[in-house]
Structure 1
C-alpha cells in the first residue's frame, strides 16, 4: 500500500508529475511486488527558495529543480528490492526526461495498523491481519 508524495518545483508541469508517478508506480509493482491497484499520490509544489538542501551531498544537484520522491509503504521489502527500486526508478526518470541526478528518493515503512481507508478502521482490522 504505497502512498507516494512528490515534492516538485512550482513550475513543473502537471503532466510531468503524472508521468513521474506513473513510472514510480510501475517501478514499485515491478521491483517490490506492489499490488497494481494500490495507486495513491500527492504532488506537493515548492517555490525555488523553499528547497533548502546541500547541493553536493552524495551527488551534485540544483536545489531549485530537485524533485523529492517520498514513498510510504508496508514494511517487508528486502534490501535488494529497495536497491532495485532506486536503480529502476532513476532509469525511468532519465527516460522521461527528468534528470535522475537531480532527485532524492526515500522510503517510510510501516505496518497494516498504520493505515486506514474506511470507517471500518485500520487495514489490519479490515483484512483481519
Structure 2
C-alpha cells in the first residue's frame, strides 16, 4: 500500500536510485509491517533548478547529496513506528550507500484505505 517517491540530484552512479529504493522498501517491511511484494516506487533525478532545498533549515546542514523521500501510506501507525522508520531509513542509507544522515528528508502522507486502487478499477481495500 505505500507509494514511495524518491527525489535526488543527477550525476549519481548507475543504479543508485534503485539501491535507495531497495533500502527504503526493506526498512518499511522491517519497521512498519509493509507486506512482502508491496513495493511501488517512483525515482526522479533532478538538477538544481528542479530540486530546491534550504541548506540550513532547522540548523541541519544539507548538501546536493540530499534525498527527499515521500511515502504515501494508510493512516494509523503510531508516532513511535514513524520515528523508527525515519531512523532506520536514514541509518541504512548512511551505512550502505554513504549518504549523510543530514541529507535524508522524509515525509509521510497518510490516507484512508479506500483511497487506493491497485488495478482493474477496483478499490481493493474498500
The alignment's TM-score, normalised by the length of structure 2, stands at: 0.90
Q: CA–CA distance in 2 between the matches of 1:69 and 1:119?
A: 28
2:116 aligns with 115
Q: CA–CA distance in 2 between the matches of 1:83 and 1:5?
A: 19
Contact kept in structure 2, 1:32 and 1:81, CA below 8 Å: yes
Instruction: Structure 1: state its 5+ residue gaps.
Output: none
1:124 aligns with 125
The alignment's TM-score, normalised by the length of structure 1, stands at: 0.88
Q: CA–CA distance in 1 between the matches of 2:42 and 2:113?
A: 20
1:106 aligns with 107
Deviations 1:14-58, CA, capped at 9 Å, x for gaps: 421111111111110111011011011111111123222211112
Instruction: Structure 2: state its 5+ residue gaps.
Output: none
Report whether the alignment pairs 1:67 with 2:67: yes
- Note the C-alpha offset of 1:99: 1.6
1:85 aligns with 85
RMSD (Å), alpha carbons? 1.4
Residues 113/14 of structure 1: CA separation in 2 closer, same or farther (3 Å cut) = farther
